[in-house]
Structure 1
């Protein structure tokens, strides 16, 4: 790597560059890029896994916000006609413009901790165009994505991700694999959008609102957190106990509540 210009990781972009070759290879094996894949890498950094993605798929779009990294990436990969770089913020990026044929997008990224949750919500809006997503995230975020009812990490992020996707916690990555080392463990997660939603909802915006309100005060009961939207009697009609806390309510039950409010309001 020494022939490429050195770039110091920037705190404001939440940058931690992956350097452990064993972990890099394990991530690439998990993604398993194949010839003809439409791969998109968010935040390639200095290109630690970029070259392996490009070798495997033969075509790669990357989205990078840090202007100082763009020349490094262009120097390394710019002569490859199948490599395209998009300078911009993934939070505002229109992923639909990368879909040029009937092949779904495969997304990959080492996501900065400070934007990972809003970025995942942004990407879920494009789930119909995506076959899978492999992300390196703070371990705590992956635990939240994969959490089941009754677990401490269960909340809005996991429920809405699991509404759209199957979530697989693949493996943990320690701080020593990065430069500079972050203060927390990271983990690799695979999000696979459902071909058919297991619990389709009549109004996803209403579902999102119900879940957000329910978890606005985690320690309170559904009766209290949802009182602006639905009464205790109505919850009982739906066979849902109004005295339980939101972390014990399943995705299917949240959909039932949202559908009830939708039907009552229309």
Structure 2
């Protein structure tokens, strides 16, 4: 069956739409996801249904979140034979409560060709639902995938990678060239797999405070921890945690940031 973009819908820049149309890439993505009839599959931004069609063929059921109101009627018509097992939620994924999709003990398997303009914020939102998720497979701008997987000391290591790696194992899978899309974007894309840990390797006392510490530390990348964190923690305290205050934030490991956040977390009041 053809996956070419129908003339009835033009990609909208304000939604960051680039429709996938390369059949070989589609098959490669589906092999990476390996949907199964026992899975609770969720697709963010199904677009014109290039991946949707293959996921439904393999899993038999799918929940989709779509912001562009012109697309659900097209998708419902295209996949009418899955009427009882294909649900479309006309909603903004950035505000959507993914936990509300769970109707049994099956965790969600989330898939999406994420719009470049909101991908970072959307990933942060999805990380807050990691306890309800088995895994996530996303097509993203390659630069974003590089940031997700970056290690301490690398230039693209920062807030996104640290928080993603706190909750998930991050696996970059393969690059997708611009020609695979219509319209053709100006950047390379990549597929990444995020698998939430069943047991976190490192546990912060307060993950929200950890997120704030990391955000503050990277507010000015070229400045040292001493300068960026001076409103939160003293130089002497950093040294007592075996952290060099003269380092720039990209030199610290996840464990280092947890040490800082845990120190700043108030002890619970005992009755």
Q: TM-score range by the shorter chain?
A: over 0.9
Residue correspondences, number? 266
- Match of residue 182 from structure 2: 179
Name the SS for the 1:166 alignment partner. strand
Matches within 5 A, 1:1-266: 1=2, 6-80=8-82, 81-263=84-266
Distance 1:226 1:3, change over 3 A: closer
Q: How far apart are the structure 1 equivalents of 2:38 and 2:169? A: 24
Give, in angstroms, the shift of residue 231 of structure 1: 0.6
Q: How far apart are the structure 2 equivalents of 1:182 and 1:139? A: 12
The 8 Å contact of residues 45 and 69 in structure 1, kept in 2 or not, is answered as yes
TM-score by length of 2: 0.95
Q: How far apart are the structure 1 equivalents of 2:98 and 2:264? A: 32
5+ residue gaps, structure 2, are: none
The 8 Å contact of residues 69 and 90 in structure 2, kept in 1 or not, is answered as yes
Name the SS for the 2:100 alignment partner. helix
The 8 Å contact of residues 43 and 112 in structure 2, kept in 1 or not, is answered as yes
TM-score by length of 1: 0.97
The 8 Å contact of residues 44 and 62 in structure 1, kept in 2 or not, is answered as yes
The 8 Å contact of residues 21 and 180 in structure 2, kept in 1 or not, is answered as yes
Name the SS for the 2:199 alignment partner. coil
The runs of at least 4 consecutive aligned structure 1 residues that moved more than 4 Å come to 1-5, 263-266
Give, in angstroms, the shift of residue 67 of structure 1: 1.0
Distance 1:91 1:240, change over 3 A: same
Distance 1:265 1:103, change over 3 A: closer
The 8 Å contact of residues 36 and 59 in structure 1, kept in 2 or not, is answered as no
The 8 Å contact of residues 4 and 72 in structure 1, kept in 2 or not, is answered as no
Name the SS for the 1:79 alignment partner. helix
Q: State the Cα RMSD in Å.
A: 1.4
Give, in angstroms, the shift of residue 265 of structure 1: 9.5
Q: How far apart are the structure 2 equivalents of 1:17 and 1:252? A: 39
Give, in angstroms, the shift of residue 264 of structure 1: 7.1
List per-residue Cα deviations over 1:35-80 (Å, max 9, x = no partner).
Answer: 1100000000000010110111111000111111111101111331
Q: How far apart are the structure 2 equivalents of 1:3 and 1:175? A: 15
Give, in angstroms, the shift of residue 3 of structure 1: 10
5+ residue gaps, structure 1, are: none
Q: How far apart are the structure 1 equivalents of 2:44 and 2:267? A: 41
